[in-house]
Structure 1
Amino acid sequence: MNSTGNNSSSTYSLKTLNEKPLIVQLVVGILLYVNGLMIFTFLKKETLRETRYVLFAQTLFADTAFILFEPLWGFYQYPVHIIPCCMICTLMSFLTVCTPLTLVAKCLERYVAISLPLRHASISTPKNTFIGLLTIWVVSFVLPLFIFIGSFSYFPRSVMFSYVVCSVEIMLQVKWLADMRAVTLQLLFIMMFCIIVSTNIKIMIAARSASSENKKSTNKGRKTVLLHGIQLLLCMAQLITPYIEMPLWKVDVMIFVNVRYSNFLLFVILPRCLSPFIYGL
């Protein structure tokens, strides 16, 4: 009877593990189609080259690249050579930081449009937009590039020819690199959170003093900033999920798999659904 019970449990576990990738593939497929449709629309329509649409397009590009690679490298856990693994992890770390920073830039753009309408045209110029995008790319890439170079300087030569289950933890074998990454991301999250909260408060103050014809536009801007704030919290919550998942590995493998799957949908897929389905469409 015990043997029969164990066989049934194993069959159920294997069935559950086989069903999860199918659901992920379905969700990712829908997101890629919607994002691709909006990217095509953005590239085709010259009237969408305003600052807020350019920032939204960057979010689409970053999120599309992220959800294209993340299920393959982060969810299915295929063994790969360590060098391309580290390159992909560096790219994924860049995309992980790029999306929240772009959300902050979108919040600042909405704040300028609502609270400083007379200066909006002079601030949101193509040149300033390009400078803002370049700043986002540089800030997003500094930490992943430093981790990439630092980890390879500590890798033994024998490790360079090994195959590993790809994860960013492969690059964080040295404690001070892991601590520096954690502290930097936490400080960055606090700064971004403070900017979004302050811009939302100032927009709410502007909404109270706005005339009746401007209240509709101001309320719409406030809701947009709130949406970006929710997205930011969900995106940054992804950074703490490994601390929740790894202790469960020693308790029960299926609990670990189920929690990891739920975190993947809630903190990786969901925040990247909000912009396309609520704001983009």
Structure 2
Amino acid sequence: MASNNSLSGGGILVRRVNYRVILVQVLVSAFICINLFLITTFVMKDFFYTTMRYILFAVTLFSDCLFLLITNVLLILSYFGFTIQTWLCLIIFVVSSVYTFVTPVTLTAMTLERFVAICIPLRHAELCSTRSAVYLILLIHGLSSVPCIVLLSIFFASATYSLYSQERVCSVERFILYSWQGHLRSAISQFYFLIMCIIIVFSYAEIMKVAKAASGESKKSTWKGLRTVILHAFQLLLCLIQLWCPFIEDAVLQIDLMLYIDVRYFNYITFILAPRCLSPLIYGLRDKMFFNALKYYALCGLYKKQAAG
């Protein structure tokens, strides 16, 4: 009887997880398709890839697509219990780790671009040129690689040769051999987000000063820039909470397995998927020029006049 109850409980667990995995596939597929359409719109109009804020927007779209794709693959591998060799997991981990930071660091760079455009308008063309955008993208990826480089340097120095040929389920915990490595990784991430938050708050305060002093059309443009900074801050907050999720999930796992599954599902939807879906809302829909271009390509040129603007 006890065995039957156990089997029944296991069946319920599998059905619930199946439903959730399917829902995640639908959401991830939808978000990736939307982002790919936005990237296509960006490429089709010359003005977009000669303007820094749109170039940085395209970087976030590409980063979000890659991040969602990799995390979804890891989710499926983990759910079905597929094991892969350490060297292959290492490649997946490097890309995932770097692009965990690319989006928030790019959001910070976009905030600084808005700060320059509103607070130092006379130097905007000089500081935010296409050449500067290329250098900035390289800097963003360089800064985003530092946490991964630190963690892997410790792993390479500590891991035995046989570890590279072992087959296990791929996860970041596979490269954390000592508990202090996890604490170091968390500390670096918290430091990054502290710096980003300081930049966001500074930009917000300076733009607020300009907004109060501005008038007419300038005031309207400044307040729009201020709202964009607030949305970037909200995205960064969700990304920051993502760093705390593993600690919360580990604590919940000690209490109840079903609660752990519920919490992990909620965290994935709220703090991994949601922040990566706000970029299309912030720039794809709120930006008039980009929205007109989207409408033009989505409706096969029926709104040619609006998109031409």
CA RMSD of aligned residues (A): 1.6
Do the aligned partners of 1:151 and 1:174 also contact (CA within 8 Å) in 2? no
Does residue 189 of structure 2 align to residue 185 of structure 1? yes
Q: Give the partner amino acid of 2:211.
A: A
Corresponding residue for residue 288 of structure 2? none
Query: How far 1:62 sits from its partner (Å)?
Result: 0.5
TM-score, length of structure 1 as denominator length: 0.95
Q: Give the partner amino acid of 1:209.
A: A
Instruction: Please list the CA deviations of residues 63-93 of structure 1 after superposition, one character each: whole Å capped at 9, or x if unmatched.
Output: 1100011011146413221111122112111
Do the aligned partners of 1:74 and 1:167 also contact (CA within 8 Å) in 2? no
Corresponding residue for residue 61 of structure 1? 62
Do the aligned partners of 1:74 and 1:166 also contact (CA within 8 Å) in 2? no
Q: Among 75, 79, 85, which residue is 2:83 paired with?
A: 79
Query: How far 1:183 sits from its partner (Å)?
Result: 1.7
Corresponding residue for residue 53 of structure 2? 52
Does residue 109 of structure 2 align to residue 108 of structure 1? no
Corresponding residue for residue 25 of structure 1? 25
Corresponding residue for residue 101 of structure 2? 97
Identify unmatched segments of 5+ residues in structure 2: 286-309
Do the aligned partners of 1:62 and 1:99 also contact (CA within 8 Å) in 2? yes
Do the aligned partners of 2:147 and 2:189 also contact (CA within 8 Å) in 1? no
In 1, the alpha carbon distance for the partners of 2:252 and 2:182 equals: 21
- Greater CA drift, 138-147 or 221-230: 138-147
TM-score, length of structure 2 as denominator length: 0.86
Query: How far 1:138 sits from its partner (Å)?
Result: 0.8
Query: How far 1:10 sits from its partner (Å)?
Result: 2.8
Instruction: Please list the CA deviations of residues 136-174 of structure 1 after superposition, one character each: whole Å capped at 9, or x if unmatched.
Output: 111111221232232122112222221111111111113
Change (3 A) 1:42 1:10: same
Identity of aligned residues (%): 37
Q: Among 223, 227, 242, which residue is 2:227 paired with?
A: 223
Change (3 A) 1:75 1:268: farther
Aligned residues: 281
Change (3 A) 1:175 1:2: closer
Identify unmatched segments of 5+ residues in structure 1: none
